[in-house]
Structure 1
Amino acid sequence: MVPHLVTALTGPINELEQRILESTPAIERWFRLEWMEHTPAFYASVDIRNAGYKLTPVDTDLFPTGFNHLTPDMLPLAVQAAMAAIEKICPEARNLLLIPEPRLLPQAAYRTSVQRLIQIFTQAGLNVRLGALDPTLSAPLRIDLPEGEHLMLEPMVRTPRRLGLKHFDPCTILLNTDLSAGTPAILQGLHEQYLLPPLHAGWGVRRKSQHFQAYEEVAKKFAKLLGMDPWLINPLFTRCDAVDTSTRSGVEALQTQADALLAKIRRKHKEYGIAEKPFVVIKADDGTHGARVLTVRDAKELDDLASDTTAPPLPQRLIIQEGVPTYERVHDAVAEPVVYTLDRYVVGGFYRVHAERAVDENLNAPGAGFVPLAFAESHHLPKRDMRPGASAPNRFYMYGVIGRLAMLAAAYELEATDPYAEVYD
């Protein structure tokens, strides 16, 4: 299944697809050499936008929670990737402690995602058990699943140097909680066990602007390899720190930044003959859940921010990102592809679909649905002899390339923000 793309079937995207297909050997060699120098984030999900004139990531989550949306056909590849990752990190590993997100556990879909993770790592040869971040949990808690199965959440036991469960000492601890509220004391100072992803990948520390700064570097390298404009795969952005939008001066500072970015986008639209009016998306620079997201086409639209007492205030750390519309359609609803990775491999994905949202709006909102990417034919085997836009494997291969570029950017980002980097050097 290739979803309907509501845009011209000629232009930059098909030129980009053709160039990528023609350059597949060089691309795969380039990735291979990059992974020799950089350690991939353990797992990730990448939200991608296909505007017809550019194809870019707009968000990268290093604690993905939607494994329930991957089809059973995708699991063998996920298991194989998990095997490769564990063999590289801790070949003698026997036990894996998985720590889920307490905030999401009441949701049936997330419970199924956790079950899917357990299935993947069990098939990869590990004993997997669940540890609770809730310090009030004193006995194992049964959590029922939709189809009659269940999970068992257990209280964790911390010793001075290790973390585990009663009679269960893991080599590796897998975090599926994004640490947006900060790093719990129970996870700190664990230098004898592998903690994946590392603590500085959590939203208490991480910033989206750091990721997209790293992605810009990756996009430039990749674009040079293919002899193309990096803008075709890179969303422009700027960062605003300590902006208090409850004051007039704070709003004016935000308007100045937004106006400057809109001017840059207008110049690129003029260069490529794009008639659409550009827009920017203003959102939290960290991963705070429920934070307000604004879509702005003219900086004057922000005039009333300081006096608007009905809407939740914007956080003071913001990223202003080039708005990339999505012209993908699934079942006549606006859709965006989401690519899932494990270690350096693309293991699957799905379309996030929202019938009540427009092409320029955030689809990761209440009311969203999910349609698995139907890999009738492997996305790892693109058909280089077919015209652009005609083949599902070709389209999905492009998604996989963009997802891996974002994953590589995450590796750059984590290296740059590693608090122990100087010690290692």
Structure 2
Amino acid sequence: VEGWEPELIISNNDFSQDYSAALEGLKTPINPPRDLGWHIRRKSDFFKNYNRLAGEFAEIIGEPNWTFSVATEVFEGFDVNSEESREKLAQRTDAALQFIRDQYRERGIEGHPHAFIKNNSGTYGLGVVQVSSGDDVRSWSYKARKKMKAAKGGGSISEVIIQEGVPTTLKQDDATAEPALYMVGCQLAGGFLRTHDKKGPEESLNSPGAVYKRLCVSDLAINISGCPMENVYGWIAKLGFLAIGLEARDKNINSGRTTPLLEPC
């Protein structure tokens, strides 16, 4: 770049497309690495690792496993245009929701469980539909079917996950909110609150109309019942960070770092 050779490229591209031809011959490491982009990643791989780590962490601190885990299962061979495929997905959805319903009853949680059916590959809030029963899948409108037909970049959706919906309790300026945290190495580096004044606590906030507000680490020093939010958000973020590290290791991905992705947190 104008006679200056960078040692590291920090990318904000989710790599939903491969871009290997455009990056051919590039020796400078890119972080996050292109090989951890959504053209190759699967949400199910991440949550398999995350839920295992969450279970181990819960055992260490003496909490029930469900405190940190998110029930997630894969549905392969999805074809939104096939009535047979939609019926199979509806049956799997009913089974998944019954499992969550049983967990609610066992834990004494009030409310009706819901789930999100998500494209197993992809981001940007595309290919995501909320359901409360298998009948919701059976009665998908043209608009809902169209939403589950294509992912970011125009690719088709052939595999989805059925994932437990976790209601948020956060509010910011009377808008429903949820946090996202950034990390540099093993250190929290702030993040943002995704807020939406037209969505409820059980709905996806990653949709048109969302407003993003800065979240500093200092904001997390709030002490609620003797538990600073930095601990609550921080440990979940670190579990997610480690889960991505395991995913990279499983895929034999070299990030180009001089330190390992799984350095102790």
TM-score range, shorter chain: 0.7 to 0.9
TM-score, length of structure 2 as denominator length: 0.84
Deviations 1:57-88 (A, max 9, x none): xxxxxxxxxxxxxxxxxxxxxxxxxxxxxxxx
Partners of 1:197 and 1:345 in 2: CA distance: 16
Displacement of 1:202: 0.4
1:317/1:377 CA distance change after superposition, 3 Å:
closer
1:406 alignment partner, one of 240, 251, 256: 240
Displacement of 1:398: 0.8
Partners of 2:214 and 2:123 in 1: CA distance: 26
Displacement of 1:375: 5.3
TM-score, length of structure 1 as denominator length: 0.54
Displacement of 1:351: 1.7
Deviations 1:109-153 (A, max 9, x none): xxxxxxxxxxxxxxxxxxxxxxxxxxxxxxxxxxxxxxxxxxxxx
Letter in 1 for 2:122: G
- 1:182 partnered with 2:15: no
1:376/1:174 CA distance change after superposition, 3 Å:
closer
1:378/1:360 CA distance change after superposition, 3 Å:
closer
Q: Is the 8 A contact 2:220 2:228 kept in 1?
A: no
Displacement of 1:313: 4.4
Partners of 1:404 and 1:297 in 2: CA distance: 31
Corresponding position of 1:394: 228
1:268 alignment partner, one of 84, 103, 108: 103
Corresponding position of 1:362: 204
1:402/1:169 CA distance change after superposition, 3 Å:
same
Corresponding position of 1:284: 119
Moved over 4 A (4+): 374-378
Q: Is the 8 A contact 1:183 1:204 kept in 2?
A: no
Corresponding position of 1:253: 88
Where relative contact order (Cα < 8 A, 6+ residues apart) is larger, the structure is: 1
Q: Is the 8 A contact 1:238 1:257 kept in 2?
A: no
Matches within 5 A, 1:72-221: 165-188=1-24, 190=26, 192-221=27-56
Corresponding position of 2:142: 309
Displacement of 1:338: 1.5
Query: Tell me, which stretches of 5 or more residues in structure 1 are unaligned?
Result: 1-164, 384-388
CA RMSD of aligned residues (A): 2.3
Partners of 1:209 and 1:293 in 2: CA distance: 14
Letter in 1 for 2:54: A
Matches within 5 A, 1:6-21: none
Q: Is the 8 A contact 1:281 1:293 kept in 2?
A: yes
SS at match of 1:256: helix
Q: Is the 8 A contact 1:245 1:313 kept in 2?
A: no
- 1:233 partnered with 2:75: no
Partners of 2:215 and 2:15 in 1: CA distance: 29
Q: Is the 8 A contact 2:194 2:211 kept in 1?
A: yes
Q: Is the 8 A contact 1:206 1:286 kept in 2?
A: yes
Corresponding position of 2:57: 222
1:207/1:227 CA distance change after superposition, 3 Å:
same
Letter in 2 for 1:409: A
Partners of 1:184 and 1:342 in 2: CA distance: 26
Displacement of 1:414: 1.1
1:261/1:378 CA distance change after superposition, 3 Å:
closer
Partners of 1:376 and 1:198 in 2: CA distance: 29
Q: Is the 8 A contact 2:188 2:217 kept in 1?
A: no
Deviations 1:83-106 (A, max 9, x none): xxxxxxxxxxxxxxxxxxxxxxxx
Letter in 2 for 1:171: E
Partners of 1:376 and 1:197 in 2: CA distance: 26
SS at match of 1:185: coil
Q: Is the 8 A contact 2:39 2:121 kept in 1?
A: yes
Corresponding position of 1:148: none
Letter in 2 for 1:309: Y
Structure 1 stretch 312-321 or stretch 260-269: which is displaced more? Answer: 312-321
Displacement of 1:230: 1.6
1:284/1:333 CA distance change after superposition, 3 Å:
same
Letter in 2 for 1:372: R
SS at match of 2:183: strand
1:251/1:319 CA distance change after superposition, 3 Å:
same
SS at match of 1:329: strand
Letter in 1 for 2:134: A
Bigger Rg, structure 1 or 2? 1
Q: How many pairs align?
A: 246
Letter in 2 for 1:348: G
Corresponding position of 1:347: 189
Q: Is the 8 A contact 2:101 2:113 kept in 1?
A: yes
Corresponding position of 1:331: 173
Partners of 1:229 and 1:337 in 2: CA distance: 23
1:376/1:290 CA distance change after superposition, 3 Å:
closer
